[in-house]
Amino acid sequence: MVDLPKKKVGIIACAGEEIPEGTISRVAARMVLEEVRPEDTVTLCLPLFLAGDERERAFARFYPTIAIDGCEKLCAKRATEKYSGPVSTYIVVDRLIQKRGLSSGQSRHELDEAGQRAAEVVAQEIVNQVERILGRERAVAAMPGVAATAPAGAGTACACASGIPMTQVKIGGQSVGLVALEPIFEQFYQEGRRDGPGLDEDLMKTVKLYNYVPPSAEERYKATLLEEYEKFCRRKGG
């Protein structure tokens, strides 16, 4: 069975520099990425949605994504949805810590005791959402220092520049970049799918998980996907 990278959860933090809650969003995200769930999570720098290329902008179509926002401006959620794709869920630091009767602390630079506690609570909530998205309902242990499953920094994944596989295909005479095409083909191949009724529909359904397909071009996409999949199977030896 091919391990499609959809099994990792994307985390996009606003990291807002002007307010303590922005620092809390960043620290909480890193706690999860570095210390608590390094094997299940991946991140991308939010400003890369503008500064990067199509591979970066494919992030939220490729990974189910949690946006972590410091304030109600929701920069992480809104920018992700504007440039990349819908988020699976989002957490607003300000809202969450108020709900828990906590404080953000006084410092946006280095978190004080209150800010650190708030970051731990936000990290806990991120982990809860990661578990939910991955379909695991296992009990989540108490936070950092207790729940750590890996040494700091181990296995931390940044998706910039190289993390998301993109394949260029010709559709209707135009070159189109399709995210995750190779792993999708590999999955179908390993499942023994070579031809038969519904293959084009199933390929299309899976490709659409990661790519926008204009409704008016669906038939052209389907035909191209079948052609490309046949080529893929021939390369693999039939």
Partner 1 sequence: MSRKEDNKVLVIPCSGIGKAFGSVAREAMYMIVEELRPEETETVCLSLLTLGDEEAKDRVRSHPVITIDGCAQACAEENVKGVGGRSVANFRVVDTYREHRELKVKSVLHPGEAGRKLAHILARKVASQVDAVKAKEEMIDG
Q: Which residues bind partner 1 (CB under 8 A)?
A: 13-19, 22, 26-27, 29-31, 33-35, 43-52, 73, 75-76, 78-79, 82, 108-109, 152-153, 156, 158-161
CB of 237 vs partner 1, minimal distance in Å: 38
Of the pair 143, 225, the CB lying nearest partner 1 is at 143
Q: What angle do CA 113, 117, 120 make, to 5 degrees?
A: 140
Of the pair 57, 61, the CB lying nearest partner 1 is at 57
| Contact predicate 57/84, CB 8 Å | yes
CB of 87 vs partner 1, minimal distance in Å: 14
Of the pair 98, 107, the CB lying nearest partner 1 is at 107
Of the pair 87, 184, the CB lying nearest partner 1 is at 87
Of the pair 89, 116, the CB lying nearest partner 1 is at 116
SS3 131: helix
> Which amino acid belongs to residue 128?
N
Of the pair 96, 203, the CB lying nearest partner 1 is at 96
SS3 8: coil
CB of 45 vs partner 1, minimal distance in Å: 5
| Contact predicate 113/105, CB 8 Å | yes
> Which amino acid belongs to residue 20?
P
Token pair 């999570």 is at which residue?
A: 41
CB of 113 vs partner 1, minimal distance in Å: 17
Residue/partner pairs of 182-190 with CB below 8 Å, 24 or more apart:
182/232, 183/2, 183/4, 183/5, 184/4, 184/210, 185/228, 185/229, 185/232, 186/2, 187/1, 187/2, 187/4, 188/229, 189/232, 189/233, 189/236, 190/1, 190/2
CA-to-CA separations, 210 to 4, 5, 81, 105, 238, in angstroms, rounded: 11, 11, 14, 39, 26
CB of 178 vs partner 1, minimal distance in Å: 23
| Contact predicate 32/55, CB 8 Å | no
CB of 120 vs partner 1, minimal distance in Å: 13
